[in-house]
Structure 1
Amino acid sequence: MVLCVTAGNIAGLDEPWILALCADSHCYAFDATYTEKSNTINSFEPRSPSNKDKGQPQVLKMVHHQHLAYNAKDICLVNTENSCDIAVAHSDRVVRLYTWCPADPATSSECYRGKFVILIKWELAGQVNRVDTHRTLKWGTLLVASQPGGAFAVLQRKFEKYKDNLAPTLVYYPPRVGNTRNMEARTWIVGNVRSRQPASRASEKNSFIGADSSSVLAVCMADGTVIFIDPTADEDMHRVLWCIQLRVRGELFALSKVNLTGGDTDEVCVCAWDGTTFVLNHRKEWFRFPMGQSCQAFTAGWYAVEPGHNEPVFVYTTCEHSLLIYYNLNVKNIVEPSLSGAIVADKELADQIREKMNVVQQMPQALWIPNERFARQTFMYDFMQFVERRCRNKVHFSGDYHRLYAWSIADLNEFWMAVFDYCGAIDSAVPMDSKPAWFPGCLTSYTENVLRGGQPDDIALYSCRLLPNCIEAVICYLATSSIGAIWSSASPDFGVQSVIQRLDMVKPTVLFAVTRTVYRGKMFDQSEKVRDIVRALDPKPVRVVFIPFLELFHSAMTLDGDSVVETPPDGNCTNSRNVQVISGQLYLRCRDQVDGKLRPVINFVPNRITTIGTSAKWLAVCEERDLKPGSQYSLKHLRSILSTGSPLAPRSFDYVYREIKSDLMLGSISGGTDMIGCCVGCCPLLPVYRGQIQCRLLGMAVESWDERGESHVDRKGELVIARPFPSMPVGFWNDPDDARYHEAYFSKFSHIWSHGDFLELHSKTEGLTISGRSDATLNPSGVRFGSAEIYNLIEGLPGVSDSLCVAQSNAEHSDERVILLIKLSDSSVTEGPLPDDVALNIRKAIRSQLSPRFVPSVMLSVPAIPYTLNGKKVELAVRRLFEGHPPEQAFSKESLIDPSVVPLYVKIAQKLYPWS
């Protein structure tokens, strides 16, 4: 019985041989170029069959026969630069490498005389299911052997001394998944699967054709598991590129690769005993082909079904001893594109369909439209005229903000120079070049610029009450920046451990602290907390060669947190003027916005304040408490309300224009602490549409990208900033090689800033909508914090074994709530409410050590926490599930260590969604 067949230039005669390995370990070699009816053995010209021969089977000439070592089960060719060897796997856990050794020409004139001789023999610790090769630039051609349970070994051609002998070396790779139902399941492996990994994964050492082209291994198990592996990855967590668990009847028994869709990538084909064939690729796409007959052999590849033309084919041997060949396979895409997807991607197609169906797409109704007189009085319009004059009328905007925005992105250098000059920033250095990197040679003082514009005896800031955001804090901040020192801050309501965790990284020399704080009308003494912090801090000062300007802690902290370093001259020294000058007048005023009695800042609007900056949560609370300031006060001077902290709900737009004032600009703005500003926001030249942010801000190349890194509109995607901007962080504190900095912003898309928000750009209004965070940052009531802060604190408490902290929001709420899932140390307690003592300890710890605002709204016990194959908690997928997404859209089961947890979380989601 023939076990397997392979072909190649084995004898080094530039003529292909076909090798057939039989169950009795006999190996037969056939010359594939001519048959027994050839005129002479030594003729290398293939004979064209005569008319008499046509229709008769052509018998290949057997040129060699040899009995190899016993128990042979699989064979493959190992092509190197100088030879073509064969590797034979044996059922006694041995792999042997043979090479062709021709006979001495002096003793034999026949070119086929010779034999296969053993070069290397590897003895493995487990059974060998299949052998194959995999080419790499780093290590050349690797010989890989699959083993039961999803494991494989790399067989190396180098020797190490073992006891008194030299033995060839092996590198074992254990099973890559933890959900294998049978650790003895047969495993197949195929190498050289051409793929195009994301740029962040591709590297010089594993690329082949082009900078982003690479080759991976595919591993298939009988239980339906298929894994794509990069064996050259430096870290074990990066070796598994993708894993999927297929649902099959019986078992999988065959694995092949084929270039089915064309281009420079390969697809992987696996077949089950019932003939069902699955085709997969590295992009996590797959489809199923039900062949319809039980089969016992399968292969896929490019073959010449018709003379002179190779094409992809599927070949099956059925249990009825029939040979079925499927060819003329016209597969352009693994995933058939849907009509809705095509409409979104192709605007012309969408318009044609609407025209045929007589569908009129309504323009959203604007809630506020600036009149021409108002627009011409704004600083934005004045800046537009300034740019036209500066460019000597080479650019013309005609009052169109979107034209101005497009110019600001196309010519970043000229734009930022124009902003610098228009704002009149104070510069004590020599004049700058007209095309600076970011203002080289410019020496500015943040304090000097933020206080310019008035007389020395003018009041710069009003304070009505002492709060953590108090006037003393502003004075200390400006004084620190004026001498070039570093300013770092932490909220007084943080717990001792949380403050120490942040300040211990920067080793402060001088500490400003408040002794009392007020929250919801109650006074809290902070004196003892300050003493504990001072005792715990290391008093040694830090010597910093590069003098930064401002140090901030952003909300996506992991482990001990990321301290973001900023430096001038950057967007901050101009953004402070951008807000005041370009966007319009702004009088700053500090006031307690909402206390126990909800005394809103609107009470003070009659004092000629033109702009109010607030949060989406505050506006929602005002609506819930049925406040109607528009009917109680004269708000004729109020021209704009700016909202930030979290996405502004559509119903809050209705509330503002109904109960506060109908003739004002409601600007929902968004940015980040790490960029010291906004990337999307408001513009006094544009209309306001319900639920939408008006525009992308000047100089900020904001786009919405899908997972493949392609820009799109009218559907949600990742908010990215595709071009640099001045207020990008210089780096993270104590991150000399920028590893954490790049991981935070550039790991998702290489060289592109990924902001962590879900964004949808609207083609009709040219506005946009942010629907929440795309990463695991939690943001209840506009207070952002990282889940790692919760994990670090509670997972050391008695009774807590593991935890998962996620946020939940829905369309009915402008806020989100935090849900904490706990795996208890007591395994007898499964799904349900937490025991009272555990819940109390968690609340106390979070309230005292972190902040009362961090206490979760819902806490439940669960028997298991979901993890990915590379050991990360599955936060985003659980959040999507809790926000109403179907399980198949929320979870990628193939990436989970234990996919059986999905039904459990579906059950929990049904109880938690929607929430009221």
Structure 2
Amino acid sequence: MTATARRAGAPDLLYRPGPEVTDGARVQDYLGWLARERGLTLAGWADLRAWSVDRLEDFWESIWHYFGVKAHARYDRVLVERSMPGAQWFTGATLNYAEHCFATADRADSLAVLGYSQTRPPVELTFGELAEQVRRARAGLRRLGVGLGDRVAAYLPNCPETLVAFLATASLGAIWASCAPEFGTPSVVDRFAQIEPKVLLAVAGYTYGDKQIDRRAELAAIRAALPSVEHLVHVPYGPLALDDTLDDAVAWPSLLDAADDPLEFEPVAFDHPLYVLFSSGTTGLPKAIVHCHGGILLEHLKNLGLHWDLRPADRLLWFTTTAWMMWNVGVSSLALGASVVMIDGNPLYPDLREQWRLVERTGATLMGASPGYLMACRREGLRPAAEFDLSRLRQLGVAGSPFPAEGFRWVHEQLGDRVLLNVGSGGTDVCTGLVQASPLQAVWAGEMSGASLGVDAKALDERGNVVVGDLGELVIGAPMPSMPVGFWGDDGSRYAAAYFAEFPGLFRFGDWVRFSEAGTCVITGRSDATLNRGGVRLGTAEFYRALQDIQEVSDSVVVHLEDSAGGMGELILFVVPSEGHRLDDDLRRRLGQQIRSALSPRHVPDQIVEVAAVPYSRTGKKLEVPVKKILRGAAVDAVASPGSLLDPASLDAFAQFALHRQARPR
């Protein structure tokens, strides 16, 4: 039911999900299980959320048993102590993440993978077919000498072969890492050189929209820069117009040659490394973040089961590349008995409607999308539910950047109460969502429904006090199983400095957040990009939201250069004019008036500058901090690797602006 009024001091209640979302939801079943098996009766979501944090050990032990985690050796203790860093979970237990992706043996004939690509025709695999390919790939990797603790790196797109290779690697107790093939040579080397892989899997090329991309030259340079690589495995995938071969490589079909080896799963300790994820690398060498078998398994069972409501026969469709943590999260749908839809190519080709077409074609029950994509659909007047059969869709996940209230309202207008709008935020550091919705929560316009189960998320002011109703640093106050084991090759000092230096004992996430008294929250951007003008702090997302209805502006990035005396500093707004428009004095005046009215007089920019493009990382993050460093005098190559950028030339205009700014008389 849509809300028509707003309580004083509370966010706008947009709607409560209808019975199509709540009836039969997995979290409802979990509440019933707690009552039957644990004698714990909880009144609803608020009680469950509080219990999951207050009784942390009991909560995670219940997740272990409710989802039927298969252990080869029993655990001694759930959590040795609640200290951070250094928390130890389920000590003594041995298990294997990959084994749980085939735990639903009765679903051998059900679809596990649907692969859609602009490079080749669709591919479908049942759970049985997937298991057989993993069995063969596992035997092939063993023939190449891969074993416990070895690293396998992939320069591969989001296709079924990548999934097969990952599960085969994990089954051996080897350690996985991947980069999307659109990454340039320096970015790939910066990542893979840290972990010294024994085997490298790669494609020779791919198709992006209507463009054929040849990556053989880049791959040759990558291989030359990785002396640890003993074997290159070529996955046939390239466009037909290219010579889809790689010199001195093991062919994927030969890796999968018939073998009698059974599909087995190496039992490893709970905290044994599963894969290494890499930070964006826009502000230095990417952090090589190590995630473990047990932590990822438990967190993803909880997240995909109780928040995303995935069940057997469901299908998850979320556009991602192999360089983003959403690829790793999507794979875990298999552990819930659900299917994963793997999409490779240009997500906007041939037009904005393609993602909705795929939802209809695949019968997806959960679709993931970026705020930018949904707002573009809104601007273009798309009517997804009227144009496509979305009858199986139960949840729309939104993540990647702040989502304005207007986007919430548009989604609800299009999809109604029967589809849960789950807007969330998390990150590579924990490989999950920290704040999001669930089938039992209401949806509030412009705000995320609250902290995830088992996540002690809160906002702290500069003195370390918890704040409600005001912006503060997002921190996690208690350990999570999916917190990193550490950074690869680190003695612990870099890891501690990254998350625990500012607030000892608390995991500082780096986002700027405001929690309401109702528990909802708004993330307004990275805390190191916050606009602090004369003591009035403002998140960058709030700034961009004030400009979203000015049609002459297609994109923008704002930077605040603080002064050492703690005064107003200099606030600079860079805008990309919409097609057919330019930044003139009239538009500057209108932008200033809009910001003054919507935000505050203190946040009217000192300068408004036209640029051709706003810089983004390849995972869609707007790069405010690198721009800020360039304006402070840093060189472009010191703040961002070109291969980590969506458009490698997008920072050049800011470097030129910085030069002219420094040359101005003061």
- 1:602 aligns with 356
Give me the whole-angstrom Cα distance separating, in 1, the residues matched to 2:396 and 2:489.
39
> Which residue of 69, 86, 89 corresponds with 1:438?
89
> Which residue of 668, 672, 676 corresponds with 2:423?
668
Mapping of 1:218-237 within 5 angstroms?
Answer: none
Mapping of 1:66-145 within 5 angstroms?
Answer: none
- 2:309 aligns with 584
- 1:487 aligns with 176
Give the Å deviation of 1:459.
2.3
> Which residue of 38, 42, 53 corresponds with 1:391?
38
> Which residue of 287, 295, 308 corresponds with 1:570?
295
- 2:66 aligns with 422
Give the Å deviation of 1:375.
2.7
Give the Å deviation of 1:646.
1.1
**1:374-410: CA deviation from partner (whole Å, max 9, x where unpaired):** 53421112112222333324xx322x21111111111
1:505 matched to 2:299: no
Give the Å deviation of 1:565.
1.1
Give me the whole-angstrom Cα distance separating, in 2, the residues matched to 1:411 and 1:577.
16
Q: Would the aligned equivalents of 1:805 and 1:820 in 2 still touch at CA under 8 Å? A: no
Q: CA RMSD in A?
A: 4.0
AA aligned opposite 2:354:
P
Q: State the SS of the aligned residue for 1:719.
A: strand
1:692 matched to 2:434: no
AA aligned opposite 1:406:
A
AA aligned opposite 1:590:
M
Q: Would the aligned equivalents of 1:656 and 1:662 in 2 still touch at CA under 8 Å? A: no
Give me the whole-angstrom Cα distance separating, in 1, the residues matched to 2:353 and 2:97.
33
Mapping of 1:892-903 within 5 angstroms?
Answer: none
Give the Å deviation of 1:672.
1.0
Give the Å deviation of 1:755.
0.3
Give me the whole-angstrom Cα distance separating, in 2, the residues matched to 1:548 and 1:385.
34
Identity %: 28
TM-score of the aligned structures, taking structure 2 as reference length: 0.63
> Which residue of 86, 102, 108 corresponds with 1:456?
108
Q: State the SS of the aligned residue for 2:280.
A: coil
Higher strand share: 1
**1:402-430: CA deviation from partner (whole Å, max 9, x where unpaired):** 11111111111110000111111121213
**Shift in CA distance, 823/516, structure 1 to aligned 2, threshold 3 Å:** closer
Give me the whole-angstrom Cα distance separating, in 2, the residues matched to 1:556 and 1:744.
14
5+ unaligned residues in a row in structure 1: which ranges?
1-358, 782-803, 825-829, 832-837, 867-899, 905-916
Q: State the SS of the aligned residue for 1:575.
A: helix
1:862 matched to 2:652: no
- 2:552 aligns with none
Q: Would the aligned equivalents of 2:187 and 2:642 in 1 still touch at CA under 8 Å? A: no
Q: Would the aligned equivalents of 1:378 and 1:583 in 2 still touch at CA under 8 Å? A: no
Give the Å deviation of 1:559.
3.1
1:518 matched to 2:207: yes
- 1:379 aligns with 26
Give the Å deviation of 1:477.
1.2
Give me the whole-angstrom Cα distance separating, in 2, the residues matched to 1:573 and 1:772.
28
Give me the whole-angstrom Cα distance separating, in 2, the residues matched to 1:583 and 1:617.
21
- 2:374 aligns with 619
1:741 matched to 2:385: no
**Shift in CA distance, 865/448, structure 1 to aligned 2, threshold 3 Å:** farther
AA aligned opposite 1:685:
L
- 2:222 aligns with 533
Which deviates further from its counterpart, 584-593 or 572-581?
572-581
Give me the whole-angstrom Cα distance separating, in 2, the residues matched to 1:692 and 1:626.
23
> Which residue of 497, 521, 524 corresponds with 1:768?
521
Q: State the SS of the aligned residue for 1:579.
A: helix
**Shift in CA distance, 754/429, structure 1 to aligned 2, threshold 3 Å:** same
Give me the whole-angstrom Cα distance separating, in 2, the residues matched to 1:696 and 1:469.
30
Give me the whole-angstrom Cα distance separating, in 1, the residues matched to 2:22 and 2:353.
33
AA aligned opposite 1:414:
D
Give me the whole-angstrom Cα distance separating, in 2, the residues matched to 1:382 and 1:612.
23
Q: Would the aligned equivalents of 2:511 and 2:523 in 1 still touch at CA under 8 Å? A: yes
Give me the whole-angstrom Cα distance separating, in 1, the residues matched to 2:574 and 2:45.
36
> Which residue of 751, 759, 769 corresponds with 2:513?
759
**Shift in CA distance, 772/626, structure 1 to aligned 2, threshold 3 Å:** same
**Shift in CA distance, 750/364, structure 1 to aligned 2, threshold 3 Å:** closer
Give me the whole-angstrom Cα distance separating, in 1, the residues matched to 2:393 and 2:352.
20
Q: Would the aligned equivalents of 1:515 and 1:526 in 2 still touch at CA under 8 Å? A: yes
Q: State the SS of the aligned residue for 2:8.
A: coil
Determine which structure has more spread, i.e. the larger CA radius of gyration.
1
**1:316-371: CA deviation from partner (whole Å, max 9, x where unpaired):** xxxxxxxxxxxxxxxxxxxxxxxxxxxxxxxxxxxxxxxxxxx9716544222134
Q: Would the aligned equivalents of 1:551 and 1:564 in 2 still touch at CA under 8 Å? A: yes
- 1:724 aligns with 479
Q: Would the aligned equivalents of 1:480 and 1:486 in 2 still touch at CA under 8 Å? A: yes
Q: Would the aligned equivalents of 1:365 and 1:690 in 2 still touch at CA under 8 Å? A: yes
1:361 matched to 2:1: no
- 1:19 aligns with none
Give the Å deviation of 1:572.
3.3
Q: State the SS of the aligned residue for 2:202.
A: coil
AA aligned opposite 2:16:
I
AA aligned opposite 2:25:
T
Give me the whole-angstrom Cα distance separating, in 1, the residues matched to 2:7 and 2:16.
23
Give the Å deviation of 1:561.
2.4
**Shift in CA distance, 495/714, structure 1 to aligned 2, threshold 3 Å:** same
5+ unaligned residues in a row in structure 2: which ranges?
1-5, 81-87, 120-156, 231-268, 316-339, 531-538, 545-570, 577-594, 600-613, 615-619
**1:98-128: CA deviation from partner (whole Å, max 9, x where unpaired):** xxxxxxxxxxxxxxxxxxxxxxxxxxxxxxx
Give me the whole-angstrom Cα distance separating, in 1, the residues matched to 2:621 and 2:286.
25
Q: Would the aligned equivalents of 2:20 and 2:418 in 1 still touch at CA under 8 Å? A: no
Give the Å deviation of 1:807.
9.5
Q: State the SS of the aligned residue for 1:570.
A: helix
- 1:551 aligns with 276
Give the Å deviation of 1:704.
0.4
Give me the whole-angstrom Cα distance separating, in 1, the residues matched to 2:103 and 2:194.
33
Give the Å deviation of 1:623.
1.9
- 1:638 aligns with 393
Give me the whole-angstrom Cα distance separating, in 2, the residues matched to 1:529 and 1:369.
50
Give me the whole-angstrom Cα distance separating, in 2, the residues matched to 1:821 and 1:427.
49
Q: State the SS of the aligned residue for 1:539.
A: coil
Which deviates further from its counterpart, 557-566 or 666-675?
557-566
Q: State the SS of the aligned residue for 1:550.
A: strand
AA aligned opposite 2:92:
G
**Shift in CA distance, 560/491, structure 1 to aligned 2, threshold 3 Å:** same
Q: Would the aligned equivalents of 1:701 and 1:723 in 2 still touch at CA under 8 Å? A: yes
**1:11-51: CA deviation from partner (whole Å, max 9, x where unpaired):** xxxxxxxxxxxxxxxxxxxxxxxxxxxxxxxxxxxxxxxxx
Which deviates further from its counterpart, 854-863 or 608-617?
854-863
**1:249-287: CA deviation from partner (whole Å, max 9, x where unpaired):** xxxxxxxxxxxxxxxxxxxxxxxxxxxxxxxxxxxxxxx
AA aligned opposite 2:113:
L
Give me the whole-angstrom Cα distance separating, in 1, the residues matched to 2:28 and 2:62.
14
AA aligned opposite 2:280:
S
Higher helix share: 2
**1:438-495: CA deviation from partner (whole Å, max 9, x where unpaired):** 1122211111113323523432110021672222211111111111111112221121
AA aligned opposite 2:215:
Q
Mapping of 1:764-803 within 5 angstroms?
Answer: 765-775=518-528
**Shift in CA distance, 735/462, structure 1 to aligned 2, threshold 3 Å:** same
AA aligned opposite 2:192:
L
Give the Å deviation of 1:605.
3.0
- 2:323 aligns with none
AA aligned opposite 2:32:
Q
Give the Å deviation of 1:864.
9.0
- 1:678 aligns with 433
**Shift in CA distance, 605/505, structure 1 to aligned 2, threshold 3 Å:** closer
Give the Å deviation of 1:853.
3.7
